[in-house]
Structure 1
Amino acid sequence: MNRLFPAALIALTMASPAFAGSGNTSTATGTATATIVAPIVLTHPASASLNFGRFTRGTGGTVTVTATGTGSVGSDVTFVPGSTTAADSFTVAGDANRSYSIATTGGNVSSGGTNLAFTTTASTASGTLSATGTGSFTVGGTLTVTGTAPTGAYTGTYSATVAYN
């Protein structure tokens, strides 16, 4: 048995894990970054509105206002003399030189229980904020006028949305 003990001791020594000597490990430091940007903010001036002007309805038709504010009528709708049309306007503020997209919805103008539908079109589908973080765009639209719409003043709303690209 004395002969087996030294052989068992040698086998046990060889089965032990080897410890790393110096120079077998290395550590480096990584970097992390983060950038907080200014939130995008859309503002509608209180004095601005999409103005379809003053018109007679006839048997019905459309009133279109371009994003530059130019008005035109279709079918049996006629502007009255001195009528003024205007595109709506919005301002955008946010992170300098950053691009953004623009989306608008349609809506209805109402007078009493009568609703007239309109669609909208932004002057551009996207924009880029200036070096100072500002931008703007305008909105035109097309109003559908029924031949049975009562006379009177009509008002309504629609939505405009901007989002960073």
Structure 2
Amino acid sequence: MNSSIFLNKTFRRAALASAFTLWAFGAPSSFAAGATSNSSATVIVPIAITNSADLNFGKFAPGAGGDVTVATDGVRTASGPILSSAGSTPAAAKFDVTGDNSATYGITWSGAAMLTDSVSSETMALSKISDLTAAGVTNGEVTSGELGAGGAQSIYLGGELSVTSGQANGTYIGDVTATVEYN
């Protein structure tokens, strides 16, 4: 008998027996290692915004033309137009934001850059003014905020209208939208 064939068969049988033994009884623990990871997730309160007051410029006559401004505290002033105390009371808009305690968020503004009269189709340019404290701000826009420990904050929106001396009488309207998103 050929000795290399015998060794080959013996070697194969020994290798097969070793493999079976490892499979049946498992590999020694020195060849395996393990680690555990803790997994977690935090669910937060969804951010929300509601409008609790609308921006109202009240009544005025165009006069020589110019600007009518409603500050973020609702105080109205004019340079050129003649303000009327009759009718609706001027007011700043107010948006109430709620969400996760102490979270920061971004604010984007969209909507009316013009107020339009539905009858005459004439317009007045609107510049938005906003702040977070109703401090009577008369220029600029806020772009971020931080919810308090109770998960709430308000945004106040005023504005400035550009009025021409020949501005047609009528009711001018337009929508301004405040959108908030967690940072």
Relative to the length of structure 1, the TM-score reads 0.80
1:9-158 to 2 correspondences below 5 Å:
9=9, 12=12, 19=22, 20-45=27-52, 48-74=53-79, 76-80=80-84, 85-107=90-112, 108-111=114-117, 112-113=119-120, 114-123=122-131, 124-158=142-176
Range that drifts further, 95-104 or 105-114? 105-114
* 1:100–1:162 contact (8 Å) kept in structure 2: yes
Between the aligned partners of 1:118 and 1:14, the Cα distance in structure 2 is: 91
User: Larger % of helix: which?
Assistant: 2
Letter in 2 for 1:122: S
Range that drifts further, 133-142 or 104-113? 104-113
Relative to the length of structure 2, the TM-score reads 0.73
Letter in 2 for 1:128: E
Between the aligned partners of 2:111 and 2:4, the Cα distance in structure 1 is: 95
Relative to structure 1, is the Cα distance of residues 81 and 91 closer, same or farther in structure 2, using a 3 angstrom cutoff? closer
* 1:105–1:119 contact (8 Å) kept in structure 2: no
Unaligned runs of 5+ in 2: 132-141
Q: Deviations over 1:102-143 (max 9, x none)?
A: 222351333313232312122132221122211111011111
- Count of aligned residue pairs for this structure pair: 162
Root-mean-square deviation over aligned CA pairs? 2.7
Q: Deviations over 1:56-114 (max 9, x none)?
A: 2134222222222233323x323246795321111111111111122223513333132
Q: Deviations over 1:1-45 (max 9, x none)?
A: 432223324654787787532332122332211111111110112
- Give the % identical residues: 35
Unaligned runs of 5+ in 1: none
* 1:43–1:92 contact (8 Å) kept in structure 2: yes
Partner SS, residue 36 of structure 2: coil
